[in-house]
Amino acid sequence: MAKTKLNISEDKAKRIAVGATVGGLLIVLFLVIVLIVQFVQIGVRQSESARLDEEIARYEEMIESDQTDLDYYQTQTGLYYLARKEGWK
């Protein structure tokens, strides 16, 4: 078996090296852009999650407050004051 050698001219080797370098840089640039987009999406999701947590806490507080009001107005004293508030005698 005879070994075959590839004779590549210097100009062709330079073009291959430049092409590989440009391809590598484009891949790195694409990956950096994807990474930045991912970080932005993570930030948006975290701020949305924090906003929703605050809203849930506010609604739970409203429910708790309304529950105590309901308990109060189910008593005789609460019904009396509610009736007086509405103008009943």
Which tens digit of pLDDT belongs to each residue from 52-61?
A: 999 999 988 8
Which tens digit of pLDDT belongs to each residue from 9-30?
A: 888 989 999 999 999 999 999 9
Alpha carbon separation from 63 to 53, 57, 59, 74 (Å, rounded): 15, 10, 6, 16
In degrees and rounded to multiples of 5, residue 7 shows phi and psi of -95, 110
The pLDDT score that the predictor gives to residue 4 is 62
Q: What's the predicted TM-score (pTM) here?
A: 0.55
The pLDDT score that the predictor gives to residue 69 is 75
Has residue 1 got a pLDDT over 60? no
The pLDDT score that the predictor gives to residue 10 is 86
